[in-house]
Amino acid sequence: MAVSKIGLSPFLKLAPVCFFSFGPVLLSLRRKGNRASAILPPLLVFAAFVAFQWISRLTASPFATRTQLQLLLADIVLIFLAAQAFRTLQDWRGFFWFVMLFAFLVSGFGILQHLTFNGKLYWFREMRYGGIPFGPYVNRNHFAGFAELAIPISLVPLMLGKVRRERRFIISFFALLPIGALFLCASAAELSPSASN
């Protein structure tokens, strides 16, 4: 597992909070009824299968099965809420602008941390288990994975010519900083697939 149990804890706790606080708001704002994502039925069937295995003790590790079942249920809740929140083209545009800005800020922070690195995480916390941090990630390979997911959101519309002339500069800027940060983090595991894509 790439993420520690401590790192998963906020995600597992925030999914029900989001469901019970934002869910009714999203559902009340949408007058056309609930909209289900096409991936929800297979995920629900899989969750039912995993729950059956856990309840009947047909699993090799009941603790690990329960933990992964909780993670799967949290994913299902967030996918359901995302299907309610992102219905129109305007909703998706707002999401894409958020992702581009977020990738830009995280990449800028990563470059700043890389250039002023003093051997400590966030310049003051000692790392007990080693690691080469980049941005908010202790492992630079995790940043590279994040950058590879976020870069196409700004780069693909530019390459296809789908960006209005007045927005080309800002979107190019939003694409170039994460690309530069990806090369600066020097993740060998991620640079070779990036170059081939």
Average pLDDT over residues 100-121: 89
Half-sphere exposure of 96 (CA within 13 A, CB side): 16
Average pLDDT, the chain: 83
Whether the per-residue pLDDT at 1 is higher than 50: the answer is no
- Nearest-5° angle of CA 12, CA 17, CA 18? 95
Q: Pick the closest to residue 192 from 148, 150, 151, 158 (CA basis).
A: 148
The reported pTM is: 0.72
pLDDT digits (tens, 9 = 90+) for 137-147: 888 888 898 99
Taking every pair of Cα atoms in the chain, the longest distance, rounded to a whole number of angstroms, is: 60
Whether the per-residue pLDDT at 24 is higher than 80: the answer is no
Per-residue confidence (pLDDT) for residue 185, from 0 to 100:
86
3-state secondary structure of 120: coil
Confidence of residue 107 (pLDDT cuts 50, 70, 90): very high
Per-residue confidence (pLDDT) for residue 197, from 0 to 100:
53
Per-residue confidence (pLDDT) for residue 7, from 0 to 100:
64
Per-residue confidence (pLDDT) for residue 54, from 0 to 100:
92
Most confident option among 32-46, 116-130, 144-158: 144-158
Per-residue confidence (pLDDT) for residue 47, from 0 to 100:
94
Q: Which of 20 and 72 is assigned the larger pLDDT?
A: 72
pLDDT digits (tens, 9 = 90+) for 36-87: 778 889 999 999 999 999 999 998 999 889 888 988 988 898 888 888 778 8
Per-residue confidence (pLDDT) for residue 175, from 0 to 100:
92
Residue 104, burial from CB neighbour count under 10 angstroms (0-12, 13-18, 19+):
buried
Confidence of residue 108 (pLDDT cuts 50, 70, 90): very high
Percentage of residues of the chain with pLDDT beyond 90: 34
Confidence of residue 34 (pLDDT cuts 50, 70, 90): low
Q: Pick the closest to residue 35 from 71, 101, 81, 1 (CA basis).
A: 81
pLDDT digits (tens, 9 = 90+) for 176-187: 999 999 998 876
